[in-house]
Amino acid sequence: MLDYLIVGSGLAGISFAEIALKNNKSILVIDNKSQVSSRVAGGLYNPVILKRFSEVWNAEEQLVIMDEFYNEIEAKLKTKLNFKLPILRKFFSIEEQNNWFAASDKKNLAPFLSTKIISKKYNGIDSPYDYGEVLHTGYVDTALLLDAYKEYLQENNLLLEEFFDSLYVEFFDFGVQYKNIKARHIIFAEGFGLHRNPFFNYLPLDGTKGELLIIKAPDLNLDVIVNTSVFILPMGNDLFKVGATYNWKDKTADPTEEGKQELVERIKEILTCDFEIVEHFGGVRPTVKDRRPLIGTHHERKSIHILNGLGTRGVMLGPSMAKALYDLIENKISLHPEIDIQRFHKKYLKSFISDRP
């Protein structure tokens, strides 16, 4: 019998899988193709919400757990995944510079915002008002991570690639049985696929579509991540990842002409050099109205759990949220109320149960 059956092999699923394996638990991951947002994600980690100059929730702890997690996975997979790069916020006015300095004086933001203005000029970008540097930033190559970890799971017979049908879930004293698989627990880490999950689909997962471009710009000389109305991330070989859009209505993963044009217009506002589009991606981020993850145990079935709602910050949140869920299950350590799905039970669960036939 397994300790954990994990449904979903995105950032959430593999974060939990790795923490369970580290603790000598037996697992099986079902790659049910329920979502693709992890694969097409920008992969950036940044402890500051630059649009509002506010700290990412619990950022310091997330960064510590994240660094340890990716260091261990890199060693295990023998693959470089975590690239520490500065994020420079381009200023468009003296007023923006002043707002930056005001934010850097705040106690919770001081560890993350440099007070030194970066005046370096990058060929291809006009920056008369210079840049502010965000500290403790970088990106994880999420596509490479998912591919390498999937290969590891396959080599160790820990991966089952098939559609997950919840009709086959049965509950017993020992835990759960799915078809011929017995496990103490099921972890649902399906991203936007949560809406097809009858055990947790009462939870208010919105889903926000995002689109990204890979562009080629030979004349753009950039060795940092630049953040303005979009981010521009150097990938090597004159290639740059640019994103992202935010669409709250379209819930498909298909790239759109509207999304492409929006990104192209923003790129032209920043770059003074020519570029060409190489690739165009789309995905639906698993976002929640209150911008907090969805972590916890089912209100009736104590052997099924959820790890979802990582939103736009899955690279940072995944390891710490997986650890929090593991500690809840194995060590009976309570979740922080801001991430616990119980925060929605009073409002959503009552109506969900009353709507049942």
pLDDT in tens, 71-129: 999 999 999 999 999 999 999 999 999 999 999 999 999 999 999 999 999 999 999 99
Residue 348, pLDDT score: 74
CB 28 within 8 A of CB 335: no
Q: What is the pLDDT of residue 314?
A: 93
* Mean pLDDT calculated for residue range 140-169: 95
Q: Tell me the CA distances in angstroms from 148 to 30, 35, 110, 145, one per residue in order.
A: 16, 18, 36, 5
**Residue 237, burial from CB neighbour count under 10 angstroms (0-12, 13-18, 19+):** exposed
Mean pLDDT of 197-201: 95
pLDDT value at residue 357: 44
In the block, which residue shows the tokens 């959430």? Answer: 12
Give phi and psi for 353, each to the nearest 5.
-70, -40
In this predicted structure, the answer to whether residue 353 has a pLDDT above a threshold of 70 is: no
pLDDT of the residue at 294: 98
DSSP string, 12-51: HHHHHHHHHHHTT--EEEEE-----TTTT---EE-SEETT
Name the burial class of residue 24, with classes exposed (0-12), middle (13-18) and buried (19+) by CB atoms within 10 angstroms of its CB. exposed
Architecture category of domain 86-136+208-285 in CATH: 2-Layer Sandwich (3.30)
Instruction: Tell me: pLDDT of 342 over 50.
Output: yes
Q: Which of 162, 110, 102, 156 is nearest to 135 (CA)?
A: 110
Q: What is the percent of the chain with per-residue pLDDT over 70, rounded to a whole number? A: 95
Q: How confident is the model at residue 350, as a pLDDT? A: 64
Residues comprising the chain, all counted: 357
Q: Both tokens of residue 58? A: 């619990």
Residue 23 φ then ψ, to 5°? -100, 20
Which tokens belong to 43? 């992969």
Query: Residue 39: which pLDDT band, with cuts at 50, 70 and 90?
Result: low
Among the listed residues 229, 291, 244, the one whose alpha carbon sits nearest the alpha carbon of residue 50: 229
Q: What percent of the chain clears pLDDT 90, i.e. is strictly above it?
A: 87
pLDDT tens digit string along 4-24?
999 999 999 999 999 999 999
Amino acid 34: pLDDT: 60
Element (H, E) at 48: strand 48-49
Average pLDDT of span 323-339? 97
C-alpha distances (whole Å) from 278 to each of 236, 263, 281, 295 are: 14, 13, 10, 37
Rounded mean pLDDT of the chain? 93
Residue 42 pLDDT: 82
Phi, psi of 278 (to 5 degrees): -100, -45
For the cut 50, the answer to whether the pLDDT of residue 259 exceeds it is yes
Q: What is the mean pLDDT of residues 250-256?
A: 91
Domain boundaries, the chain: 2-41+143-205+289-354, 86-136+208-285
Query: What phi and psi, each to the nearest 5 degrees, are found at residue 179?
Result: 55, -115
Predicted TM-score (pTM) of the model is: 0.93
Q: What tokens were used for 223? A: 């060795």
pLDDT band at 355 (very low <50, low <70, confident <90, very high): low
| Per-residue pLDDT band at 333 (split at 50, 70, 90) | very high
Cis before residue 244, ω within 30 degrees of 0? yes
* Beta-carbon contacts of residue 157 (< 8 Å; ≥ 6 apart): none
**2-41+143-205+289-354 CATH:** 3.50.50.60
